[in-house]
């Protein structure tokens, strides 16, 4: 493998490791009910940081040791060495601009890959790149800002991607809270999910009586009429808040002309093997139903 491929591969590997490490704290954020402490679940973030440092060193080593590389990317050189191209241009216009065998002055960091090679052949690619800098063709600040915005967009997209609830789940009464007599029920739940719809089918057995409940959630925000075992018919509207699905249930209250509102929050554990369903009503303790994913 030649120097150019080694430098390119190590450079892009460093970028990938940096972006992955940056995303880890958002992907492994604190999750209620998680059995493993948050800092222990962050071990991939720490190791990605160490690996990014090592790959960056290797990348710099490949670059600095090469004396015959062609087509140097000036913007990459300035970013890697954190030196303003405008300062470099000013140096080239200074008293050292007449140096014969180099396209850079001694005041610029002495990178051998920007000088003539051992046979005296000038690196035309690097020379053209620096000429572009002199003409304002490359701006380090613009390049850095663009890269940061791109990485930030990737992190935000990864952190806010909707959760995938699809699968078969079993109700875990031991981990659930404030479920009352429902703790004695056996519930098997099947969830199917698309980009626009989430369908939940609950098959339960309580005191020897079987019951089935079919619930549809419109993921685009449109209202849907569903039937709840406890509250009867209700108007529901769902929306995403990051990786959590929030659904508002509005049903007729016990007193004529009144409306009862319930907020349901559905989310997953960090490993995706546990599903939590919170139900909050005004003036009452929040009920938490926990489901474990079937293998």
Tokens of 256: 């004529």
Of 159, 187, 207, the domain-final residue: 159
- Give the bridge partners for 251, in sequence order: 234, 260
Rounded Cα–Cα distance for residues 284 and 205 (Å): 26
- In this structure, the answer to whether residues 13 and 153 fall within a common structural domain is yes
Q: Which helix (H) or strand (E) holds 268?
A: strand 259-268
Q: Are residues 152 and 232 in the same domain?
A: no
Contact yes or no for 213/205 (Cβ under 8 A):
no
Same domain, 145 and 232: no
Co-location of 152 and 186 in the same domain: no
Q: Which of 140, 159, 178 corresponds to the end of one domain?
A: 159
- Say if residues 263 and 280 touch (Cβ distance below 8 Å): yes
Question: Do 139 and 253 fall within a single domain?
Answer: no
pLDDT value for 103: 43
Which pLDDT belongs to residue 250?
93
143 lies in the same domain as 229: no
The answer to whether residues 263 and 282 belong to one domain is yes
- Cite the DSSP H helix spans in 66-123: 74-81, 85-92
Q: How far apart are CA 233 and CA 247, in angstroms?
A: 15
Q: Taking a C-beta distance cutoff of 8 angstroms, is the pair 63, 80 a contact? A: yes
Blockwise average pLDDT, block size 10, the chain, 295 residues: 69 81 74 61 78 76 56 57 47 47 44 48 52 51 64 58 91 95 94 96 93 95 88 90 93 85 94 95 92 94
Same domain for 150 and 181?
no
Q: What CATH number corresponds to the domain at position 215?
A: 2.40.128.20
Any idea which residue has 């009867």 for tokens?
232
Q: What is the pLDDT of residue 97?
A: 46
In this structure, the answer to whether residues 192 and 108 fall within a common structural domain is no
pLDDT of amino acid 287: 95
Q: What is the domain extent for residue 40?
A: 3-159
Quote the CA–CA distance of 282 and 259 in Å, as a whole number. Answer: 12
| Tens of pLDDT, residues 64-117 | 665 544 455 555 655 555 544 444 444 444 554 444 444 444 444 444 444 444
* Kind of pairing between the strands at 274-280 and 244-252: unpaired
In this structure, are 69 and 119 located in the same domain?
yes
How many structural domains is the chain composed of? Answer: 2
User: Residue 35's pLDDT is what?
Assistant: 59
User: What is the predicted pLDDT for the residue at 240?
Assistant: 93
pLDDT of residue 76: 62
Q: Do residues 57 and 115 share a domain? A: yes
Residues 171, 275: one domain?
A: yes
């Amino acid at each position: 493998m030649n120097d150019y491929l080694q430098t390119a591969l190590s450079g892009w590997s460093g970028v990938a490791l940096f972006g992955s490490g940056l995303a880890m704290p958002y992907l492994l954020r604190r999750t209620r009910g998680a059995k493993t402490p948050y800092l222990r679940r962050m071990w991939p973030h720490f190791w990605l940081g160490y690996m990014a440092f090592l790959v960056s060193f290797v990348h710099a080593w490949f670059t600095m040791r090469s004396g015959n590389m062609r087509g140097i990317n000036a913007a990459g050189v300035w970013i890697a060495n954190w030196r303003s191209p405008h300062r470099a241009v000013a140096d080239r216009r200074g008293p050292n601009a007449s140096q014969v065998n180099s396209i850079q002055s001694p005041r610029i960091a002495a990178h051998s890959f920007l000088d003539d090679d051992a046979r005296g052949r000038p690196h035309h690619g690097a020379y053209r790149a620096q000429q572009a800098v002199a003409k304002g063709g490359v701006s380090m600040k613009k390049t850095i800002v663009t890269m940061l915005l791109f990485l930030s967009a990737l992190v935000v997209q990864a952190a806010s991607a909707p959760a995938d609830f699809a699968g078969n789940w079993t109700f875990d009464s031991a981990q659930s809270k404030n479920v009352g007599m429902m703790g004695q029920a056996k519930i098997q739940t099947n969830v199917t999910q698309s980009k626009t719809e989430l369908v939940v089918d609950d098959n339960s057995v309580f005191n020897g009586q079987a019951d089935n409940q079919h619930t549809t959630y419109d993921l685009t925000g449109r209202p849907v009429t569903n039937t709840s075992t406890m509250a009867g018919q209700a108007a529901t509207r769902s929306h995403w808040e990051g990786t959590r699905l929030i659904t508002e249930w509005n049903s007729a209250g016990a007193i004529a002309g009144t409306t009862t509102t319930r907020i349901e929050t559905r989310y997953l554990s960090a490993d995706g093997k546990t599903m939590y369903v919170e139900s909050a009503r005004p003036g009452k303790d929040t009920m938490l139903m926990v489901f474990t994913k079937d293998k």
